[in-house]
């Protein structure tokens, strides 16, 4: 995998968006700081000793027929790397990784489309060595350092993730879906009540599962819905009292 490093950049996702046509498939760009880091829903991603990186997936050999699969693929990769570090994590479909009920990783998937899809950019922010969080995030966010009680080497972590991701990417291209088994077995939303918008309507339901295509299976009072991460916005999730 080709690696590009910046001490400071506006956003690693934006860099790949601007330069994808001159870069190889599976180029990774990482930075120590971002001045305009992006989160989902137009939010900012404010960094504080985080691991910030983006991976470019170019449209080659039909590898982008289901672009949203890539959030779950990288989430499964990171889950495995954390496990080797003795960190127990859960995947909050489709974009977050949770440790001790708090968010440790955020994933932002962006696509560039002209006439057809050109590339997908997987942007990942891992709270690595941050010790303190702003007051509004104290109950919601954690870092690897807070969970392990020691500093983590960001470069080594990145190299472990990229090595593992390359293997997982090649398996994915061969239609092997081990990543879905990992997500289903370590699935944060299972049996939780969720509020989400879908086709401009708001729904409430209980999460039953993730199916073999990576769709979220939710039971509402009226029906069972199969939700694609590109079509649905999860607004809230909370433990089902019965679970």
5 counts as binding ligand BTN under rule CB under 6 A: no
94 counts as binding ligand BTN under rule CB under 6 A: no
205 counts as binding ligand BTN under rule CB under 6 A: no
Rounded distance between C-alpha atoms, residue 14 and residue 17, angstroms? 5
CB 98, min distance to ligand BTN, A: 11
Measuring CA to CA, which residue among 238, 233, 184, 186 is closest to residue 212? 184
Measuring CA to CA, which residue among 37, 220, 53 is closest to residue 123? 53
Q: Say which residue the tokens 């971002």 belong to.
A: 34
Report the b/e string of 126-158 with b at 16+ CB within 10 A.
Answer: bbbbbeebeeeeeeebbbbbbbeeeebebeebb
CB 142, min distance to ligand BTN, A: 14
Q: Of all residues in this chain, which one has the CB nearest to ligand BTN in the complex?
A: 106
38 counts as binding ligand BTN under rule CB under 6 A: yes
Q: Say which residue the tokens 């990186």 belong to.
A: 53
Q: CA of 33: how far to CAs of 29, 39, 52, 92, in Å?
A: 12, 14, 8, 25
Query: What string marks each residue from 48 to 87 as x (binds ligand BTN by CB under 6 A) or -?
Result: ----xxx---------------------------------
* 4, 20, 28, 37: which one binds ligand BTN (CB under 6 A): 37
40 counts as binding ligand BTN under rule CB under 6 A: yes
187 counts as binding ligand BTN under rule CB under 6 A: no
Which residues are near ligand BTN by CB under 6 A?
11-13, 34, 37-40, 43, 45, 52-54, 106-108, 123-125
């Amino acid at each position: 995998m080709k690696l590009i490093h910046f001490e400071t950049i506006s956003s690693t996702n934006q860099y790949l968006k601007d330069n994808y046509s001159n870069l190889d498939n599976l180029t990774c760009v990482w930075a120590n700081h971002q001045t305009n880091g992006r989160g989902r829903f137009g939010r900012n991603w404010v960094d504080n000793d985080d691991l910030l990186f983006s991976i470019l997936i170019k449209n080659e050999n039909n590898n982008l027929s289901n672009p949203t699969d890539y959030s779950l693929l990288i989430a499964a990769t990171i889950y495995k790397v954390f496990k080797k570090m003795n960190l127990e994590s859960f995947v909050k479909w489709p974009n977050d990784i949770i440790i001790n009920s708090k968010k440790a990783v955020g994933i932002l998937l962006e696509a560039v489309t002209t006439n057809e899809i050109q590339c997908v950019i997987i942007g990942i922010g891992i709270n690595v060595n941050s010790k303190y969080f702003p007051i509004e995030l104290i109950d919601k966010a954690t870092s690897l350092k807070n969970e392990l009680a020691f500093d983590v080497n960001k470069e080594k972590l990145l190299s472990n993730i990229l090595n593992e991701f390359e293997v997982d990417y090649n398996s994915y291209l061969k239609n092997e879906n081990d990543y879905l088994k990992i997500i289903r077995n370590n699935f944060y939303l299972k049996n939780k009540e969720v509020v989400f918008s879908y086709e401009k309507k708001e729904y409430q339901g209980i999460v039953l599962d993730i199916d073999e295509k990576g769709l979220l299976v939710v039971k509402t009072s009226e029906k069972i819905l199969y939700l694609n991460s590109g079509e649905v916005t999860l607004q809230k999730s909370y433990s089902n009292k019965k679970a």
